[in-house]
Amino acid sequence: MECLASFSNDPFDKPPCRGCSSYLTEPYVKCAECGPPPFLLCLQTSDFPVLDPNWTAQEEMALLEAVMDCGFGNWQDVANQMCTKSKEECEKHYMKHFINNPLFASTLLNLKQAEEVQHNETAIPFHPADDPPRPTFDSLLSRDMAGYMPARADFVEEFDNYAEWDLRDIDFVEDDSDILHALKIAVVDIYHSRLKERQRRKKIIRDHGLINLRKFQILERRYPKEVQDLYETMRRFARILGPVEHDKFIESHALEFELRREIKRLQEYRAAGITNFCSARTYDHLKKTRDEERVKRTMLSEVLQYIQDSSACQQWLSRQADIDSGLSPTVPVVSNSGRRSAPPLNLTGLPGTEKLNEKEKELCQMVRLVPGAYLEYKAALVNECNKQGGLRLAQARALIKIDVNKTRKIYDFLIREGYITKA
């Protein structure tokens, strides 16, 4: 459709209809493909088809007018107003040619995009994939979203919500003095600055997607602990950087942490004399095996230490059950020192007893230490003493990972018997 306003009021100056050769009057049809010269067709003789062979131009106009009068979807009322088509025919024709028609669809899409651009300037929009949740009023999620209303794209309370109160009693009159007029203008300028701050905060929330706080927190948890701490620290600077620049900054630091961890692992390989990744895999496997064996030895020492104390043994078993099930141990193993001291350890039948002298047997019985463990601890302390030329108690405790009181008794015994010397 075009408008004939560009032509003069004289009907003889207007272009003729290509169908009936009469002068055009609005409304009329102009072909979008033909021309030049343009193909113009009046609707005075409207018994020709336009979009469908079974629908005349007059019926097309009547359908559009009926939909405008009765509303979209009220097809029975539309059919009653047209009188020439049924309800199903009206709905099918309108949906086919005016809703699902690619030409009309592209036009509607352009109108929708223009509406969205206008909406972006006045509210906080979200992409369809990032549509914020719609919690009930005064719920926990609603409080997390700071009272954001997705349907209105706005908040229940604005930033500096009572800024308008300063303007409610201001009235500009002609008899105001210059100073009073300047003061009123200053108050208005302050109010404008508050409005700008509101818009600035909304823009930050919109750009960084901070409305859906829980989704934002889920995205944070994908980073390692070090990067999460950095994210929390650098969040206050997000208002300075844009969303893309801020994410690039965080991602670059996440990559830095990964590189540092990889460099540390390579340095460990190089210190162990490893020069290729095939050997590195073997090294990692052997290291894992050594760690498992060390844990087993520690567990054996604990079993032998607490085996005569039923309460402590029960606590140890509970803790090991938690470890085996993947849980962190919650029951600390504490020997029941409040009761009378445990009886001396019976060395009969224990491996390594025949290698001890009488004083060593007495020591193992008093400290409740099996002969095999004592011989291992003794050899470690003697070797370290020979290397260092002497041994301190702190060094002995670092070598022997058992109860500190037992370590002191073993250390004092070896000093007294001349096996080791003090540093």
Digit-coded pLDDT (tens) for 404-422: 788 888 888 988 888 888 8
Helix (H, G, I), strand (E, B) or coil at 55: strand
The mean-pLDDT minimum among 33-47, 195-209, 253-267, 373-387 falls in 33-47
For 300-324, the pLDDT digits (tens) are: 665 665 555 566 666 767 777 776 6
Q: What is the mean pLDDT of residues 64-73?
A: 86
The whole-chain average pLDDT of the chain stands at: 75
For 347-361, the pLDDT digits (tens) are: 777 888 888 888 888
Residue pointed to by tokens 């097309």: 60
Q: What is the mean pLDDT of residues 23-43?
A: 72
Q: What is the pLDDT of residue 22?
A: 65
Residue pointed to by tokens 């209303």: 149
For 169-194, the pLDDT digits (tens) are: 788 888 888 888 888 888 888 888 88
Is-contact 163 157, C-beta < 8 A? no
Q: What is the pLDDT of residue 126?
A: 39
Domain 4-102 fold:
Arc Repressor Mutant, subunit A (1.10.10)
The torsion defined by the Cα of 184, 187, 189 and 190, in degrees rounded to 10, comes to: 170
Residues 49 and 64: their CA atoms lie apart, in Å, by 15
Distance of CA 230 to the CA centre of its chain: 15
Burial 167-191 (b: 16+ CB within 10 A, else e): eeeeeeeeeeeeeeeeebeeeeeeb
Q: What percent of the chain has pLDDT over 70?
A: 70
Is-contact 374 400, C-beta < 8 A? no
For 244-303, the pLDDT digits (tens) are: 888 788 788 888 888 888 899 889 888 888 888 888 888 888 888 888 887 776 666 656
Domain ranges in the chain are 4-102, 138-218, 223-264, 273-336, 344-423
- One fold for both 4-102 and 344-423? yes
Residues 369 and 47: their CA atoms lie apart, in Å, by 113
Q: Give the DSSP letter string of 361-391.
A: HHHHHHHT--HHHHHHHHHHHHHHHHHHTSB
Residues 391 and 218: their CA atoms lie apart, in Å, by 53
Nearest to 213 by CA among 121, 122, 147: 147
Residues 28 and 14: their CA atoms lie apart, in Å, by 12
Residues 228 and 223: their CA atoms lie apart, in Å, by 6
Say if domain 344-423 classifies as CATH 1.10.10.10: yes
Helix extents (H) in 5-125: 57-70, 75-82, 87-94, 102-120
Output the six-digit token pair for 15: 């272009």
Is-contact 108 139, C-beta < 8 A? no
